[in-house]
Amino acid sequence: MTSYFPEHGDHRYGVSHYDLTLKYRVAANRLDGTARLTVSAAEPLSALDLDLGRFRISGVTVDGRSARYVHGKGKLRVTLPRPLPAGARAGIEVRYSGSPVPVPSLWGGLGWEELTDGALVAGQPIGAPSWFPCNDRPGDKASYRISVTTASPYQVIANGVLVAKRRTAGNTTWIYDQTEPMATYLASVQIGRYQLSEIAGTRLAHPARLATRVRRDFGRQGEMMALFTDRFGPYPFTGYTVVVTDDDLDIPVEAQAMSIFGRNHVDGMRGFERLIAHELAHQWFGNSLTVACWRDIWLQEGFAAYAEWLWSEASGGPPAADHAQRWHHRLTQLPQDFVLADPGAAMLFDDRVYKRGALALHALRQALGDEIFFPVLRAWTTEHRHGSVTTQEFAGHVQRHTSRPVGPLLSAWLHDKPLPPVAPLPRR
């Protein structure tokens, strides 16, 4: 099975833990880092490849012993001081420094980005090597400790729980623990002059001048969380943080236990509430349940898009069936030239992946009925909590939970190019 990004990731080993110690100077865009990785060999290894962008490497050790390395073209090849047998573990430390630069991609630069006054990370799908050495494939999930030192006027938000905060000589060190397994592309650091507050259990970080708009636009966060908990099962992480930058962003940014919005996404009138629902839903579909490979991205984006429709019908907007009819009509006007369960790298974020994925779920809901459909979703998130998933596993899961033959329906939506029909709206 060919990877969409064969230049990223190394399947010969896995990483169980990343310990990142970073120092960042905002004005100079200078990052000094020490990364400690706990790796496990899937096969006998004499060397391994890490993904890492354009940094200067000052040293690499393996289990405390100096190791030879070669760095170039986004790869850091480490020669192990002694061979590592299959199943054995090793600790790798990489010391590096430089100005982080986004990773070039079909969708522009990905990863660490400078803001007008701060920085953010937008890693999906291959941006993680822009700021730390990693095994950059979505199916390799690990726990993290992220320590960031920067000038004290700035707030630092990273994945997980803030476990320590120390101020010394004009700088502050922030230390976060992300204990639940996380894919590299979901690891994130947000740095800015933010005001911190809370609403309905959600932590908010935003420019002080946008406080009124932010509290209005995220004012239904509690109801949204309650709905998704009912539909999808318990919220999978310790907490949830929303960051609103003081810059415009093309689209919101997904991260584990965190979502990042631009100032252009808050208008004080809840004009972007569907995006708020979409990003929150990713905590179940994308962050807790992460695709094992990128071809199955509909399992994340299709589910999050359908969550928008579920929130609409629960909050007084049009029901999901209305959204399904409208989007089905739109998609019939577009080329029928891709397969939802394997769209190809170039179409990874095509709108058809999102909306056809949502339509597939709505068709499944119509076939099963709510009394079966939603328990199936809750069982899916429970059985694969903090794990990796595939389309094949989802189809098998659904069939195990119903006596109705759903294989032909799912196959038509997921594996055939022509757009299947949707059931007509009931008369009102």
Active site residues: 279, 354
The C-alpha angle with vertex 234 and arms to 306 and 284, in degrees rounded to 5, equals 40
Which residues lie across from 395 on neighbouring strands? none
Rounded Cα distance, 267 and 261, in Å: 12
Rounded Cα distance, 75 and 7, in Å: 9
Amino acid at 214: V
Rounded Cα distance, 126 and 133, in Å: 12
DSSP-derived secondary structure for 4-38? S-TTS--TTEEEEEEEEEEEEETTTTEEEEEEEEE
Query: Residues comprising the binding site?
Result: 278, 282, 301
Query: Residues comprising the binding site for Zn(2+)?
Result: 278, 282, 301
DSSP-derived secondary structure for 252-283? -EEETTEEEE-GGG--SS-TTHHHHHHHHHTT
The answer, yes or no, to whether the previous bond of 236 is cis (omega within 30 of 0) is no
How many other CB atoms are found less than 10 A from the CB of residue 32?
17
- For residue 178, the SS3 value is strand
Backbone angles phi, psi at 353, to 5 degrees: -65, -45
Listed in sequence order, the residues at least 6 apart from 417 whose beta carbon sits closer than 8 Å to its beta carbon are 336, 337, 338, 339
- For residue 356, the SS3 value is helix
Listed in sequence order, the residues at least 6 apart from 351 whose beta carbon sits closer than 8 Å to its beta carbon are none
Rounded Cα distance, 389 and 382, in Å: 12
